[in-house]
Amino acid sequence: MTLRALLVTGQSSQYHDWRVTSAAIGRRLEETGRFTVRIVTTLNAGPAGPVLHGPALFADCDVVIVDYEGDRWPPDVEAALERYVREGGGLVIVHATDNAFPSWPAFQALCGVGGWGGRDESSGPKVRWRDGVQVLDTSPGVAMHPPRQDFVVVTRAPDHPIMRGLPPMWVHADDELYSQLRGPAEGLEVLATGCIDASVHPKATGEHEPVLMTIRYGRGRVFHTTLGHVGPADANRTTAIDCAGFIVTLQRGAEWAATGEVIVDVPSDFPTARGTRLRV
């Protein structure tokens, strides 16, 4: 069965390039043979595509992917997305979207955790992995990340359909490790974490920060990946989204969000603990 994916995009901050990431997301989903991808852009996106409008926007799709960081959506569209997921729809949150809509409470619940945009202790706890378990951390701190670099991703939920068959540890390529994200964190399960030595990088926390997670929202399924940074000057530095680890977990996460199951195989070029693997 072909799954119908709706990719919502069209704005990002000065730190991200939605045109590059959204094109890559659409291409990587379709290359599995499991998805057809329809892209819609926001009101301020210009002639690149249709605008967001109406509660029926999400009616004919199996999963919604949001690669967006910009203006609030029309109220009927926001309400439609909340209803779509609450009633059993699938949602995928990608990297820059962590930072979207800090004043939209339901979207923060959908993401589980997010960063920047004025988020602080009042936004909810941080989620960490300590001593073999997922914990909520209410200590002070706002979102940050060390410089882009390769870092090790550690599988924390090996029996989850998205993670089943993936290596216990693998090296992700040249990305930002989002740290100290905060939010409601309700119904959130950490699938994988990353950690960077704080003694080497001052903006690292030294904590095992979630990089892949799922959130239950009503009857719906949300897959949230903090991976996949591309900046506006990075046309020739798309390493993070060319990493086979990013690609495969995105594909499997989107399939799980849509169906609750995963049949996309773990390929032979998936990264290992010894090094990254890129698909250029």
Domain assignments of the chain as residue spans, ordered by start: 3-259
The two three-digit tokens of residue 65, written as one number: 């992917």
The two three-digit tokens of residue 88, written as one number: 């059993």
pLDDT value at residue 236: 86
pLDDT value at residue 53: 66
Residue 205 banded pLDDT, cuts 50, 70, 90: very high
pLDDT tens digits for range 77-113: 999 999 999 999 999 999 999 999 999 999 999 999 9
Name the residue type at position 48. A
User: Backbone phi, then psi, for 185, in 5-degree steps?
Assistant: 55, 30
Report the distance separating Cα 205 and Cα 96, nearest Å: 20
Report the distance separating Cα 109 and Cα 239, nearest Å: 30
Tell me which of 216 and 49 has the higher pLDDT: 216
pLDDT tens digits for range 37-55: 999 988 554 554 456 666 6
Please state the rounded mean pLDDT for residues 223-240: 95
Fold designation for 3-259: Rossmann fold (3.40.50)
Report the distance separating Cα 116 and Cα 77, nearest Å: 23
Strand-strand pairing, 90-94 and 63-66: parallel
Rounded (5°) CA angle 27-32-36:
60
pLDDT tens digits for range 156-187: 999 999 999 999 999 999 999 999 999 999 99
Residue 6 DSSP SS3? strand
Report the distance separating Cα 240 and Cα 230, nearest Å: 7
Model pTM score: 0.96
Residue 210 DSSP SS3? strand
Report the distance separating Cα 123 and Cα 141, nearest Å: 11
